[in-house]
Amino acid sequence: MELTFATYNIHKAVGLDRRRDPDRIIAVLNELDADVLALQEADRRIGRRESVLPLEHIEEYTPYRPVPLNHRPHSLGWHGNALLVKRHIRVAEAGVVPLPVIEPRGAIRADLIAGGQRLRVVGMHLDLSGLRRRQQVRAILAHIDRCGHPCPTVAMGDCNEWGLHRGALREFHAPWRVLAPGRSFPSRRPLAALDRIAVSPDWQLAEMAVHHSPLSAQASDHLPVWARLELPKK
């Protein structure tokens, strides 16, 4: 089985032109055409924490549906973290991953069924503080270890880690692998690979890249990154 996973900090749908344009973000999601998408900054931070992407637009104009978390009725996710899956993928269960936080950051987890295979996905947006990021990665890994049904796992998101092989991402000890598809921030002239995808040893990497299109270069301050992963036959 082969699936494409992507992560994208959509910056509350505010582009480099300082306009909030949800439909522009939705167009980028359609360009990506991933099977599973992790979004960051998908909800407003004040008031009812509404999704910046109208749910009816996701349903009508994309092949995706949000993974339901059932925490805030007007939000797409939790602390801006959301997961979208293509409609042929079934959601077995989903919930919030508790993290030690100072800033309003967070992580979410979903167990999915695709092609008869159970798999686990974590979407995350880590802190600006290096020490806090380490604690958050440890909390995510501990949460995964406590989950029933061990299965192939992907953790992805905006890690706020500028170094390629140091810092908090070293907490993903072998046999985990941290993929850096490329520089994704800032979108106008990318300098840092802040957006990462970590995979359990079950997966084989087929391809990975930064999605750099004329539209994605304007839609957010981050570019999306993606990886096409394969599960070998057993």
How does pLDDT run across 129-139, given as a tens digit for each residue? 888 899 999 99
User: Which residue ranges of the chain lie beneath pLDDT 70?
Assistant: 45-48, 70-73, 102-104, 164-165, 234
How far, in Å, CA of 82 to CA of 89, rounded?
16
Chain centroid to CA 120 = 12
pTM listed for this prediction: 0.95
Residue type, position 84, single letter? L
pLDDT of residue 106: 86
Tokens of 231: 């599960």
The pLDDT of residue 46 is 67
Q: How far is CA 232 from the centre of its chain?
A: 23
Q: What is the pLDDT of residue 75?
A: 78
Architecture of the CATH domain 2-88+157-230: 4-Layer Sandwich (3.60)
Upstream peptide bond of 175 is cis (omega within 30 degrees of 0): yes
Task: Give the DSSP letter string of 17-33.
Answer: TS-B-HHHHHHHHHHH-
Domain boundaries defined on the chain? 2-88+157-230
> Pairing state of beta strands 36-40 and 2-9?
parallel
Percent of residues, the chain, with pLDDT higher than 90: 78
Per-residue model confidence (pLDDT) at position 47: 60
